[in-house]
Structure 1
Amino acid sequence: MIDPALLSAAPIWYVVFVFSLTCHEAAHAWLAKRGGDDTAYLGGQVTLNPVPHIQRSPFGTVVVPLISYLYMGWMIGWASAPYDPHWQQRYPHRAAYMALGGPVANFILVILAGVGIKVGMMLGVFAAPSRLTGITDLVAAPAGGAAATVALFLSIMFCLNLLLALFNMIPVPPLDGHTVVGLFMSEKNALRFYNATQNSPFALLGIFIAWKVIGYVFWPSMKFALMLLYPGTNYQ
């Protein structure tokens, strides 16, 4: 039987999830346009309206997150912004900046969620939790009601976007971090690197590696983020 608390949190989870993916992909699309590739712009991806992003990737933005939530209690999925591969061949560094934009957008959402939590605590609406049992209870709302809903929203926003940013920055194909690596090479070497590693076998291997590695990256990063959010505490 499905936990009623899990079901009640599902709408907020989904709103945060889709909004986070939308910001991520819109950042890719906007930076691509700034760099001279208007493919995503013409496809309607330079927008915070989630509809074009959902229409482009309905399986990754609707089916997979809902199924994963029912079975695992948290959402996984994906979206994408199209780009011209010939543009990447001509301007590998611009493509690397485009790739960097998505994780940066997620880090910005982490910061905004953290600011929201701190403001709520200053106003006496929120309080630091006595203990952490999951990513949905990052901050407590003693009075309940609407404040509890906002606390849940900010908790998921903070943790989910930290996870998305870190996962996508793992430097393996097909993740953003793989393309970002090109910034540390000459354009000629970056192009060679992309051409040698952008194929299906490497992508499958990369996803497997990232899935195994993310736990070792996320939890220490989460602990550090909590130290910044709640100085003097030591949540485990």
Structure 2
Amino acid sequence: MEDLISTVAIWALPVLLAITLHEAAHGYVARHFGDPTADMLGRITLNPLKHIDPVGTVLVPGMILAIGALTGGTGFLFGWAKPVPVDFSRLRNPKKDMFWVAAAGPAANLLMTFMWAALLKLAIVMPDNGYRLALASMADAGITINLILMVLNLLPIPPLDGGRIAVSLLPMPQAAAWARIEPYGFPILIILLMTGVLGQVLGPLIGFLSYFLSLVFGF
């Protein structure tokens, strides 16, 4: 039980920041390009309660962390937040601007990855005290969750951000055909997760990015 409480305490802040800034970034960029929908609904906010999905943000990742803490395994951390509503028809240049709106979320996770990496470096070089290990563990969790969210969301499967980016870049006929996959995107993702394919695809990418960060920050 102590391991479970410790795991939740370490991961709670990184997970909340990762999903909150990811979703708020989508809304902010959408507003910048002409769509005020998210702003009108109060979704351009750092209040995590506005973005939390009870199942995707709390239950699913909580169960994965709990199972990992109780069994000593790690598993592939997976979850989702309430998507920020974007009315692409209200963007000034819908097809072109869709790219920037979709890319904003993964870009926010990338920035947070570097922030947590800097904190991990600080924890490594700071004098040994009661906070050093906690900070290092939380920073390591922050790096992990943000890398997972960034790489996962860049998969070219609508309605993931990578799917939106693909639609914005493809010629119109191919873009329209690819966009029609959206109703099946989430079931496809669940199947990939349950069969282990998702972890096999994303694991090496996340490992490579983690190694790159270790080279940049020297840890």
CA distance in 1, matches of 2:214, 2:177: 36
Provide TM-score, normalisation by structure 2: 0.82
User: Which runs of no fewer than 5 residues in structure 2 stay unpaired?
Assistant: none
Q: Name 1:30's counterpart in structure 2.
A: 28
1:198 pairs with 173, 182, 190, which one?
182
- Are 2:117 and 2:213, in contact at CA under 8 Å, matched by a contact in 1? no
Percent identical pairs in the alignment equals 27
Q: Name 1:228's counterpart in structure 2.
A: 216
1:62 pairs with 58, 62, 65, which one?
58
CA distance in 2, matches of 1:203, 1:58: 17
Judging changes above 3 Å, is the alpha-carbon distance between structure 1 residues 189 and 230 closer, same or farther for their aligned structure 2 residues? farther
User: Which runs of no fewer than 5 residues in structure 1 stay unpaired?
Assistant: 127-142, 232-236
Provide TM-score, normalisation by structure 1: 0.76
1:78 pairs with 77, 80, 87, which one?
80
Which protein has greater RCO, CA pairs closer than 8 Å, 6+ apart? Answer: 2
Judging changes above 3 Å, is the alpha-carbon distance between structure 1 residues 190 and 94 closer, same or farther for their aligned structure 2 residues? farther
CA deviation vs aligned residue, 1:117-146 (integer Å, no higher than 9, x gap) = 33444xx316xxxxxxxxxxxxxxxx2412
- Are 1:60 and 1:77, in contact at CA under 8 Å, matched by a contact in 2? yes
CA distance in 2, matches of 1:8, 1:176: 32
Quick one: which amino acid aligns to residue 125 of structure 1?
M
CA distance in 2, matches of 1:168, 1:152: 24
Judging changes above 3 Å, is the alpha-carbon distance between structure 1 residues 81 and 214 closer, same or farther for their aligned structure 2 residues? same
Equivalent position SS for 2:101: helix
- Are 1:93 and 1:182, in contact at CA under 8 Å, matched by a contact in 2? no
Judging changes above 3 Å, is the alpha-carbon distance between structure 1 residues 172 and 88 closer, same or farther for their aligned structure 2 residues? farther
| Count of aligned residue pairs for this structure pair | 207
After the TM superposition, which parts of structure 1 deviate over 4 Å for at least 4 consecutive aligned residues?
A: none
Q: Name 1:139's counterpart in structure 2.
A: none
- Are 2:31 and 2:38, in contact at CA under 8 Å, matched by a contact in 1? yes
Q: Root-mean-square deviation (CA), in Å?
A: 2.6
Q: Name 1:160's counterpart in structure 2.
A: 145
Displacement after TM superposition at 1:206 (Å):
4.3
